[in-house]
Amino acid sequence: MKDIVIVGAGIVGCSIARELSRYNLNVTVIDKNQDVSEGISKANSGIIHGGYNEKKGTLKAKLNLEGNKIIDSLSEELEFPFKRNGSLVLAFNEEEFKKLKTLKSNGESLGIEELELLEKGEVLDLEENINCDVVGALHVKNSGIVSPYEMTLAFAENACENGVEFLLNHVVTDIKNNGDSYTLIIKDKDPIEAKIVINAAGLGGAFLNNLVSETKYEIEGVKGEYCLLDKIAGGLCKKTLFQVPSELSKGVLVTPTVDGNLLIGPNAAPSEVGDIKTTRKGIDEIIDKSKITMEKIPFDRVLNTFSGIRPKVKTKDFIIEEAKDAKNFINVIGIDSPGLTCAPAIANYVINIIKDKIKLDKKSNFKAHRTKMIRMSELNIEEKNKLIAENPAYGKMICKCEFVTEGEIIDSIRRPLGARTLDGVKRRTRATMGGCQGIGCMIPISAIISKELGIDISQVNKDRENSSVVGFKED
């Protein structure tokens, strides 16, 4: 019997797992995908929001503020990249400028001090490539950028190092309430029993709740599509550039990423929960809207498009509570934006809910620090030469666009919770993320994974089952 099972290895489930790994508890994280961060947490804007536009009294407002404040120390402790680059919410007419004043006073009423209204000239002094018909902006100095999947991996790896078990490729199909425990039914695998279940299943959160509770939830998917541009385009701005937000979303942004690319998006289109295909219509919409911010965006430098689905619930706020008619079943659902920003604060909130349900006895050997992967491209020449002398695999370039070596790819597989798929290697090392998008290195990387895991190259998946880029071996 497990003490606690968390369903969902996104940023929410992994933040909770990392927090729980401080205690002497038997904790398991279950996810249907082959890697952590394969759900909403891999496809979003990666912004640590300032929180100025959240509604007073909501969990979103409270947890955004708390999450934003603890992110610096967490990024140091867990070594994931975070830049507090600040953002500008841009007004292109007087009507929009009035809305900025409302947003500023809303933010101030929430306790956010780092807000300032800027005139046209001040905006263009900060960001010279913004269209010169800008009227003014709200400068949100406390906002920042992260890589959402690197952040998720950092929490997951640290939780794993501190004893949390991760069961990937495990689909929860049913849950039985036994009164004092729950039995989770797993597709094609043995059932798992737990005293406490934490439902952090993102888009699958309503389904799991509805299996055990008479309070039924519905999740509406709202798709957001993006264009990712290369690092040459990434130099066009330093801050995250928002337009004035709407009811459905924070609007189309133009932002540098922590890795130096340029990201444009998202739109907000109703969508089936599992449908992450990008559409010509959606991409045209974000291209057109981004041109309001910046005419000069070089769309011939687009590397890729992708989309993520927001899990919207009717209340429009996060639902983080024990189900009223299912004792010890904790729902963490409806976690749409700003869920990435809030995740570490959500974890603390959840610990507070369960502290009276189970003994939280601190581990004496909890390891708070996680060491990030070696990135050869970040080292100086002496450091590179030393590493290559110790291990020649660090001298063998595999991804020539992002300068990723064989040594780094092997490291990404051998780490705690190591990569098992091509996309797993991609998210840990950046291999395949450059100009050729993997045309030159997907097969050599598949060969390395095959050798490391002792499986045939045709069994190495890109992301999900049967997604090998090499094809299947004939019997």
Ligand X SMILES: Cc1cc2nc3c(=O)[nH]c(=O)nc-3n(C[C@H](O)[C@H](O)[C@H](O)COP(=O)(O)OP(=O)(O)OC[C@H]3O[C@@H](n4cnc5c(N)ncnc54)[C@H](O)[C@@H]3O)c2cc1C
Catalytic positions are 49
Binding track, positions 253-272, relative to ligand X; x by CB under 6 A: -------------x------
Does 33 engage in binding with ligand X (CB under 6 A)?
yes
Q: Per CB under 6 A, does 336 bind ligand X? A: yes
Q: Any contact of residue 347 with ligand X (CB under 6 A)?
A: no
Binding mask 46-85 for ligand X (x = CB under 6 A): xx-x------------------------------------
Residue 180 near residue 289, CB atoms below 8 Å: no
Binding mask 220-259 for ligand X (x = CB under 6 A): ----x-----------------------------------
Out of 21, 28, 45, 432, point to the residue binding ligand X (CB under 6 A): 45
Q: Is 40 near ligand X (CB under 6 A)?
A: yes
Q: Applying CB under 6 A, which part among 5-13, 55-63, 210-218, 428-436 lies near ligand X?
A: 5-13
Both tokens assigned to 294: 């910046």
Q: Give the one residue of 17, 23, 39, 418 binding ligand X; rule: CB under 6 A.
A: 39
Residues 380-419 that bind ligand X (CB under 6 A): none
Most distant CA pair in the chain, distance: 69
Q: Which stretch binds ligand X (CB under 6 A): 79-87, 280-288, 338-346, 454-462?
A: 338-346
Interacting span for ligand X (CB under 6 A) from 2-10, 16-24, 122-130, 448-456: 2-10
CB of 284 to ligand X, least distance (A): 17
Determine the interface stretch with ligand X among 115-123, 211-219, 307-315, 428-436 (rule: CB under 6 A).
307-315
Binding residues for ligand X restricted to 186-205, rule: CB under 6 A: 200-204
Task: Check if the beta carbon of residue 290 is closer than 8 Å to that of residue 255.
Answer: no
Residues 209, 341, 412, 429: which binds ligand X (CB under 6 A)? 341
Q: Which of 180, 176, 204, 205 has its CA nearest to residue 191?
A: 176
Q: For residue 107, what are its two tokens? A: 């933010």
Q: Give me the sign of the Cα torsion angle 304, 305, 311, 312.
A: positive
> Least separation, in Å, of the C-beta of 364 and ligand X?
30
Give the Cα separation of 263 and 147 in Å (integer): 12
Out of 10, 107, 136, 424, name the contact with ligand X by CB under 6 A: 10
C-alpha torsion sign, points 45, 145, 419, 345: negative
* Secondary structure (DSSP) of 156-225: HHHHHHTT-EEE-S--EEEEEE-SSSEEEEETTS--EEEEEEEE--GGGHHHHHHHH-SS----EEEEEE
Q: Which is nearer to ligand X, 335 or 449 (CB)?
A: 335
The count of chain residues that interact with ligand X, using the rule CB under 6 A, is 39
Whether the CB-CB separation of 206 and 76 falls below 8 Å is answered with no
| 124 or 302: CB nearest ligand X | 302
Using CB under 6 A, pick the residue from 4, 5, 6, 12 that binds ligand X: 12
Say which residues have a Cβ less than 8 Å from residue 378's Cβ, sequence separation at least 6: none
Q: Minimum CB separation from ligand X for residue 213, in Å? A: 15
- The distance of closest approach from Cβ of residue 93 to ligand X in the complex, given in angstroms and rounded to an integer, is 25
Q: How far apart are CA 437 and CA 423, in angstroms?
A: 12
User: Pairing relation of β-strands 165-167 and 262-265?
Assistant: unpaired
Interface with ligand X (CB under 6 A), residue from 31, 150, 408, 423: 31
Q: Which of 468, 438, 463, 451 is nearest to 35 (CA)?
A: 463
233, with CB counted inside 10 A (0-12, 13-18, 19+), is buried
Answer yes or no: are the C-beta atoms of 199 and 332 closer than 8 Å.
yes
Alpha-carbon distance of 193 to 190, in angstroms, equals 10
Residues between 166 and 185 that touch ligand X (CB under 6 A): 171-172
Task: Please report how close the Cβ of residue 365 comes to ligand X at its closest, in angstroms.
Answer: 27
Backbone angles phi, psi at 28, to 5 degrees: -125, 135
Q: What is the number of the residue whose Cβ is closest to ligand X?
A: 339
**Which of 279, 458 has the CB closer to ligand X?**
279
State the Cα angle at 240 between 273 and 380, rounded to 5°.
Answer: 105
Residues binding ligand X (CB under 6 A): 7-13, 30-33, 38-41, 44-47, 49, 171-172, 200-204, 224, 266, 308-310, 335-341
